[in-house]
Structure formats: C-alpha cells, structure tokens
Structure 1
C-alpha cells in the first residue's frame, strides 16, 4: 500500500501531502502542462485521462477504482485492501504471481495501493510496452480467478501485515485511536487494513463478491501519463477497455455523515518500546472538495506558515528560541472525499516536558489567531508550495497519482490543474479565516505517546 493511515512518522505524512493532490499541477519547467490533461469517456462509462510528458519514451499506466476501505459493508472491513492483494493472483491467461514478473521482464515496475476512497493499480513501462500492460490490466478487471488455494494463504499475509504495521507500531496504534475519536462512526475512523477479527474471517466468496460488484468499467478511471497523446491513447483504450461490458449497477455511496467530537478528547498511550515521548493534535477540517472558496488552499498555506519546516512559526518558537522541542510540524490532509484533518506534531527535547511543549504550541496558535499572518510569511509559504509543484512534476508517476487521487476525492481535472493559481490567490484574510474556523472553532483530539508502563 502506498497510502494509508499506517504510517510510521508524521513528518512523512507532511511530505506525502506536500507532493499531493494540488501541488503537481502547476505551470513552468519543461513539461507541456499549460493546458489541462485531456479527458474522455468510453462507451461503457470508463473515464480516461491523458497527461502528456514527452521527455522520455516511458509511460505510467494507472487504473483507479472508485471504491475503498470506507465503502466496505459492516463486518467485512479490510476487504478492499485484501482484494488489492488478490488482484495479483492470476486469470485464465496469466498464472498466479506472474503479473508482476511479466511487467518486470519487460523492463517495467508495478504496484497497487488502497485508500479510504479508492483502490488503484499501476505500471511504469516503456511506451512500446503500453499495449501489453493495458491488455493485462483489462484482463484482470474481468477475468480474475480465485480459489481457496490462493485466497487463504494471502489472508495470512495480510494478517501479518496488520501485525507489523499496526500492532507492532506504537505510533500507528495511537493514530488509530485518534482517528476513531476524531471521525467517530464514520469509516474514516477505522484503519484501512481493517479490523483484525473481520480480516481473519474474510474468504474467497467475500473477495469475489466485492470484485464483481465494484471492479467494473463504469466505476473505474484510466490515467496514462508520459510519452503519449490523446490521439494515440484513445484507440488503445477503446480496444482494451472499451469492449468490457458493465456487470453491476452504478455505485451510489451511502456513508454516515462525519460527526465531529462534541468535546476535546485526549488519548494517552504508554509503551515500553517507545524511547521518547511525542505529542500530536488533530483538528476537524474540510476536505479539498468540501472546502468553501479558497479555504482548502488557505489551509495548505496555514500549515506551511505554522509548521512547514525550519521557517515555520512553531519550529522557530519551540526549537530555535525556547529549545524545548527537537522537532515540530503541522500539516493539512484534504485528500479525502468526505472530510479532512489538520494536525500538529511535536517531539520534545530528550527528557523534555510534554506539558511545556503543549503550552508553547497553544501560545503560538493563539498569537496567530489574534494577529494573523504577515506579508513575508504568506509570500514565502505560497512560493514554497508552488515551487514544490514544479519540482514534483519531475516524477511522472507522482503526477499521475496526483490527478487520480484528486479525481477520486471529488475534484475535477481543472481544479487539480489550477491548484497553484488558487494557492497564489490566497490572502492574509483567507489564512486567518481558515485558522479561526479550524484552530479555534472545533473540538480537538490530542494524543500523547509515552515510554514505559502506564501508571
């Protein structure tokens, strides 16, 4: 899995988000992105997006399914991620385990990932091998072959992954509890990998039922980035994907609304495996797609001003001036369909005091809410974000991911493409309004991870 809540360090979250949905669509550099990528729809309802990048004869081919961990039925959590594993088990044409080997023999690489709102599969390969991977991916969209011989051992693999990534990771356990407290009964409040007891009960019938219901052309988007034009891709898409018939009714999501905490919550975990204490706080926030006006872009800018590296207010106050923290950061996660999160993370100096760190953070947040931001830090934050767009475009795969993630979480191609413009339009008033809405108008979830046994 590329993307999930099963992450070892919060700075990594900030990095992923920095090169995420909006940042990769900026203008400049040597790529031909003055115009938005081209979109078209096949007769069976499958959406297609083409992102030209002619610097090398290579393409990134991705198929995104509009179904993820938040779409699972009660008692079947983990099935979206489990099926992601099983999609490599073979068809009538391709023997179990051979899919990735074929891609590798042809000089490419492949992988897949599961999110709350989508599941996706990709290959990076030479342009002249694109028809091969399109044929293979189209084949497993309709002809996946599963038996207990493949499914049950893979279930054990997933259970081991759960043990390693969640049960053996104190930070992941804290994040799980904090997510549950923040999102409540909404599916975002549980881990993408699922509830252990429910994963252990998943079987072949469950996997095939989920596959047949959701893995259909009308519930999928094809994204191809690289040395390809729309005129070249369209006949290939029609040849390999256009002939696949729909086999399930249109998927209409039915999720409970997000009910934010009605009071501030604090979760404290003690663990012998932890050497240094850490402090984390989650704030309820909108998703990019549900934010109003410039609110989403303003939250990106706010996160950069408050905790974006060594120039952020929190770092300068807690690390440089006061010397009470070893690191501190903030981030905004808006790449979800229903709701997002704004977060702050701090690691005290060795032997430091969490209470002192929390009070210092609260003081800096209060100062920002009272005084707002100045022109210098606003312009610096916007420059960092937009520059990141240009630099990140060097990764063809990341560009394709950016558009796919945005489309799967409620944005349009134009909105993704124009994100740097939205960032540049953010004003000091926009940042202050977003800060006051998120940082002072909500109830938070605070997490403390402490070394040793609980008292």
Structure 2
C-alpha cells in the first residue's frame, strides 16, 4: 500500500495525514489491520468491498474500473478520460442533468477521475440514500446512452480542460516533454488527458467501443466505506449490481515491462509564466507488480527518510543547513500495474543557480547512501509512516480511495491490511540495498523549469 495515496488523499493529488500519534515516536509500531475491510464476489464477477466506519450515518460509494489511460490503443490517447466525462451523459432511466440533480437533491456529491491504471466514480451521501446511488451506478455500468451532439460538445470540454490544466501550467508542459523521453514505449509516457491532436479525433464510436469492452461487472470493484457492514451491503449489491449480466471472467492485468537500455535524460524548458525555477528527478522504480516486494518496502521507507517532511535528511541538508533550497521533497509511487516512480522535487532559493542546487543534491544523496541511513533513522521513519494511519480511518472517502486504488492496481486486501506489518519488518540494510539499487540501475529523467530570460535592455528607460 502506498503512503503516497494516503498523503494525497488527506492533503490533496502528488497532507492531512500529518505527524505521529502523541507518544508514538520510536516505540513498537502498530501492525494490526488498517481498515477492517471485508470483500465478496458476485456471480457476475463483480468484487464488492465494505469498510465499516460508524462515526456518522454517511457512506462513500466508489466504483473502480480496471481500465485507464495506459490501456488505450495507439492513436487514441485521452479516450479513457473522455469516456469518464461521457459517463455523466446518463442513461434512459437517469438522463444527463437528472443524474447529477438527483445526487445533489439527496444531499450528496459525486465526481470521477482517471489515472493510467484505473477510472473511478464516486458519491458521498447519507447511508439512507446508498440504494439510490447503487442503482445509478449499476444502470450506467451497462446502459450508457450517447448521442453525437453530446459527444461533440464534450470533446471540446476536454480539449479546454487540457488547455487549462496542461497548456497553461508550465510544470505540466515540462512533464509532457519529460515523460515520453523517460518511458519511451511504455504507455506511462502518454498523458492521461491525451495529446490534443489525438483528442480531436476521438469519436462516439471510439467511446462506445471502449465502454463495451471494459465497463463490465467482472472488470469493476465497488467499494463502500462508512456506516455499513458487509452483511448489510451484500443484499444491496446483489439487488442492484447482481442483475448485471456476466460478460466475462476477471483476468490478471498484463502490462509491458520492457524498458530500453538505462539512460539519464534531461529536459530544460523556459517559460514566460515561470517566476521561480524548479528542479525535479524521476527514477523508474519497482512496483508492487514489477520487482521485489522487499525493495518496494525498502524504498517506501527510504522516501520517508530522504524527503518525507521538514525533518528529513534532504530538507535539513538543502533547506535548513545549506540554505540552497526553499523546498525539498521525495515521494515514491509503487501502486502501479507496470513500473513505479521515485521522485525528488527541489525549489532553489532566489539567486541560487539550479546547477549549484543539483550538484548539492547529488552530493547529499551520495553522503546519505554512503553513511546516512542508521537503524534509528529507519525506526523513526517507520513510526511516522505507520502512525499516520491513525488518521486514515476517519474519513470514509479516504478509506474507500485507498482500498479501491490499491485493488485496482493489482494489490490484494491482505496486502493493504497487512501493510503496517510489512513496513515494521523493514531493516536498515534493506533500505540501503533498495536505495543503492535504485540509484545505480534506474533510468532517470531530470526536468528543469526556468524563467524566460529577459531580452537585453528589457525594462530600461527609453
């Protein structure tokens, strides 16, 4: 289970999950189940998960489809995200407009999102309205209605979304230049939102074909977290989702693990909207599905030691002691069908050249790898990581997101519930070995974002 997912949820996407529980600094970490989730499978292949949380009479209802942007066919980038939008165009029973109005009138909220490995839809509502939400989602799982004018309008919507979220954000533009260079033929190098030229070619037929191929009970996971038990949820799931015909069997997801020869790529971009430079480095790393789980858990702890907060080694070295950076952080994303990513992000202080900060990072990393990871460092990192879980159960939405995203990425409930026990067994030797292996063998992508140089004489009096 990725602590990054918990951090993103509580701090929302790349931290409400802050600080250790009082008195739990270096003691024996909690190693019990995380969410107390229970699951069952319907006859049509649908996986259903209940996560009890009886603090309030509310639930988060999420439907996860095991299909994402990395599953698109060449030339159809953005199709998974496009279909996510089109799913709100409704069905004969719940047509466009009426669908969202019903949720709102019943005091709920809804939305959806797409990643490389999955697409998810959710409603947060009072538990009394859960049957209605399940009816809505079950209906649009198989009965989506799309007309050409609505598709054409929504295509323009996603193109405008791309302009706002990518074209107008320098860091996002840099990311689109860097990712393909790093990932090469791996589909993680294609933007989730899609390339604009290909987005313009997406049709109603493309969307319906993708929908019919992948939106089915056997390819979905329903997660309900909140004031409900598995015993209470099962008859509801049977009533609403059980009526959906079986169209296939759950199958392991296969994603290419091919990577070209190790290389370190670099993209430098200037942009007129940039005021403060940024430096980032991405390492292609093992994931829960590709590589050794021992290395994965070691890298989770290493990310916390290196740059998991303002008391960590990278922050103290570059921000506090050397005063070269305004920000320094590291994160690791192992929840992926293919490879994971280990990321470092630095923001230089005003007047500090980026190349000087990069050299300082390289020296700091070398020092940490050589003699900077002690048993005490590992113990403190593990305690911080596991203590954050005390806050993860408070919100049904956070719990449903963490469990659903991990299951959709190929983990099991046992992996999720036993994550604290797995982290508790990580040793300093394992952290050092995983970190050394990453730095020595991983392909990297370095992105540098700089302000646009001023023209000579710009700003001078006439």
In the superposition, the TM-score normalised over structure 1's length comes to 0.91
Task: Tell me: CA distance 1:156–1:16, structure 2 relative to 1, closer, same or farther (3 Å).
Answer: farther
**C-alpha distance in 1, partners of 2:232/2:180?**
46
Counterpart secondary structure, 1:87:
helix
**C-alpha distance in 1, partners of 2:295/2:16?**
20
**C-alpha distance in 2, partners of 1:96/1:128?**
24
Deviation at 1:252? Answer: 6.6
Contact preservation (8 Å) 2:262, 2:441? no
Q: Is 1:83 matched with 2:83?
A: yes
In structure 1, runs of 5+ residues without a counterpart are 1-10, 20-26
Q: Is 1:322 matched with 2:322?
A: yes
Q: Is 1:205 matched with 2:205?
A: yes
Structure 1 segment 53-68 matched on structure 2, within 5 A: 53-68=53-68
**C-alpha distance in 2, partners of 1:416/1:34?**
7
**C-alpha distance in 2, partners of 1:226/1:75?**
41
Structure 1 segment 191-270 matched on structure 2, within 5 A: 191-247=191-247, 253=253, 255-260=255-260, 262-270=262-270
1:7 corresponds to which residue?
none
2:281 corresponds to which residue?
281
**C-alpha distance in 2, partners of 1:354/1:439?**
21
**C-alpha distance in 1, partners of 2:106/2:74?**
41
Deviation at 1:392? Answer: 2.3
Task: Tell me: CA distance 1:174–1:344, structure 2 relative to 1, closer, same or farther (3 Å).
Answer: same
CA offset digits 1:108-160 (Å, max 9, x no partner): 11111101111111111111111111111111111111001211111100000
Contact preservation (8 Å) 1:214, 1:251? no
Q: CA RMSD in A?
A: 2.3
Task: Tell me: CA distance 1:191–1:16, structure 2 relative to 1, closer, same or farther (3 Å).
Answer: farther
Structure 1 segment 14-413 matched on structure 2, within 5 A: 14-15=14-15, 36-247=36-247, 253=253, 255-260=255-260, 262-413=262-413
The count of residues paired between Structure 1 and Structure 2 equals: 436
**C-alpha distance in 2, partners of 1:376/1:251?**
43
In structure 2, runs of 5+ residues without a counterpart are 1-10, 20-28, 456-462
Q: Which moved more, 1:95-104 or 1:244-253?
A: 244-253
CA offset digits 1:45-91 (Å, max 9, x no partner): 11111111111111111111111001111111111000100111111
Contact preservation (8 Å) 1:213, 1:248? no
Task: Tell me: CA distance 1:274–1:261, structure 2 relative to 1, closer, same or farther (3 Å).
Answer: farther
**C-alpha distance in 2, partners of 1:76/1:293?**
33
Counterpart secondary structure, 1:289:
coil
Counterpart secondary structure, 1:88:
helix
Counterpart secondary structure, 1:244:
coil
